[in-house]
Homo-oligomer: A and B are copies of this chain.
Amino acid sequence: MTGPGPDAGPPFFDVVLTQRACRTFADTPVTDAEIDTVLRAATHAPSAENRQPWEFVVVRDPAVQTALHDIAEAAWAGGGRAFSEGRLPDELLAEVDAGYAGGGYRSAPVLVVVCADVERCLPATVASSIFPCAQNLLLAAHALGLGSALTTLGASAGPEVRAVLGLPEHVWPQVVVPLGRPARALGPPRREPVADHTHRDRYGTAWEGRR
């Protein structure tokens, strides 16, 4: 690794420990150069057999964004929300509701749809290749000051998303990531302590107990 420099972004742990979901965005544009930077980071994720099976569709066309929004909102209203009621903390449920009410995918300057080309990987390795790529994308966006969220609800409606984006049969939509400047400052991520979920050598042996 080269030494610190302004072009190489903020310190790694400042980025990784403060990244969190953003669901409402300012109107400020996101440049093609920023998207290139974010996608370059995404393509540096590992993938099974280093096959790099990702395909990205970068959506700025309002008609396409609206179509993807409608698919996601229909999935949320048509079962997703009912399923999440009682499962999600009220605060998080309200945040998701506010995201849809505030325009959802339509309110983001850009959407990136991350797909897997199953002619370049096995169906069994789609997830282990695509989600690390998506995580790199979120972190890189945050390093540039962009908000984002990892959403799978819209992508889970595969045939409809495929029709909107003109995806061939062998390209499977997996994740939709809205990108844009956060409309307001985001609080810190809420996480449980590492020690509560870490075991030493075998499950059930406390990580901290044997130091």
Residues of A within 8 A of B (CB): 1-2, 4-5, 7-21, 32, 36-37, 39-41, 43-46, 48-50, 52, 54-61, 64, 84, 87-89, 92, 125, 127-128, 130-132, 134-136, 138-140, 143, 149-150, 152, 165-168, 171, 175, 189-192, 194, 197-204, 207, 211
Contact = CB atoms under 8 A, between A and B. Distances in A.
Contacts of A43: 191-192, 194, 197
A166 B8 contact: no
B191 A52 contact: yes
A11 B139 CA distance: 12
Contacts of A48: 152
B150 A46 contact: yes
A149 B49 CA distance: 12
Contact of A21 (B16, B21, B46, B166): B46
A136 B18 CA distance: 12
A70 B162 CA distance: 42
* Chain A interface mostly: mixed
Contact of A40 (B1, B4, B17, B89): B17
Nearest to A134: B132
This protein's copies in its complex: 2
Contacts of A11: 1, 4-5, 8-12
Given A54-B197, A59-B201, A171-B203, 11 more contacts: A8-B14, A9-B11, A12-B143, A17-B40, A46-B150, A50-B89, A56-B197, A125-B152, A131-B131, A132-B132, A132-B138
A203 B115 CA distance: 10
B139 A131 contact: no
B150 A56 contact: no
A66 B110 CA distance: 48
Contact of A56 (B1, B5, B199): B199
A117 to B, nearest CB: 8
Given A19-B44, A135-B131, A203 B52 contact: no
